[in-house]
Amino acid sequence: MLPRRHLSPEALSQLKRFTDARIALGQAGAGLPTEAVLGFALDHARARDAIGSELNADALTEALRDGDWPLLAHSAVTSRQEYLTRPNLGRRLSDDTAAHLSATNLTCDLCIVVADGLSALAVNENAVGVIQALCPLLPPEMTVGTVLLRNGRVAAGDRIALALGAKAVLILIGERPGLSAADSLGAYLTWAPREDTRDAERFCVSNIRKGGLTLDAAARQIAALLDRSRIAGRSGVAIADGR
C-alpha cells in the first residue's frame, strides 16, 4: 500500500486502470477500507469456486466437433479432492482411457488437449476461442485432433499424444486461480512428447483471458512457437536459449 503523500488519488486511479493486482487499496485508520476488505473476500470466494468448477464437456464437444473429434479422456484421479491432493495421478491416464486411446484408429499431427486443471471456468470461457483463432494459422497440411481431459495435469497430454501418434501436443489448461484472476488459461506446447518429458522441454503461454493476454494474441504466439519447434524438432528452453 503506497503512502498517500507519494501519489494523488487521481494518479492512483490511473495506475489501477492498467492492472488487476491489488494496489492502491486505500486506508481506514490502521486497516483497509470496508470496500477493499469485501473485495478481497469476494475474490477469494471466486478463486475457490474456480477450483471446484466443472468442465462443460457438452458445450465444448459441440463447439469443437469435427468428425470423430473431440475424444473424451479421464486422468487416473477418481475425485476432485484426490486431484488436489495427488497431483501425480493427474499426470496419468485412467486404465479405461488408455485402453480406449490405444484401440482408436484416429491419428493427428497436433493433438490439442483441453483440460480443466485448477480452473475449469478458464477453460469453459477461453479454450474454444483460442483453438478457433489458432487453426487458421497452422500449416494447411497439419492435421489436428482434440481431446477433452477431466482432472488432468500437463504431463497427461504427453501420454494422450503418444497414443494418437501426434508429433506435438498443445494442452490448454486452467491455471491456478488467484485473487486478481480466476479465469486464466495456460497453454503448454511440447514437440515430440515422451512419457518422461521435462518441464524445460515445453513452451508455456499463460494468463490467457479477458484482462490478460487476448485469445488472438495467444493464438499467434502459439503458432509461432509451434513453427519454431517444427523447424528445430524440439521445444522449450533449448530453443529459447538458442541452443
Closest CA to 39 of 8, 16, 9, 10: 16
d(CA 6, CA 107): 60
Distance (Å, rounded) from C-alpha 60 to C-alpha 58?
6
Whole-number Å distance between alpha carbons of 81 and 226:
34
CA dihedral 185, 45, 59, 156 (to 10 degrees): 50
Residue of 144, 146, 208 lying closest to 175 (CA atoms): 208
In the sheet that 110-115 helps form, which strands lie side by side, from edge to edge?
71-74, 144-150, 110-115, 168-174, 185-191, 203-208
Angle made by CA atoms 168, 107, 152, in degrees to the nearest 5: 60
Contact between 2 and 24 (Cβ < 8 Å): yes
Q: How far is CA 221 from the centre of its chain?
A: 14
Distances (CA, A) of 52 to 44, 62, 154: 13, 23, 18
The answer to the question of whether 154 is labelled as a binding residue is yes
CB atoms within 10 A of CB 67: 7
Q: Which residues make up each annotated binding site for adenosylcob(III)alamin?
A: 154, 175, 204
**Residue numbering of the annotated binding site:** 154, 175, 204
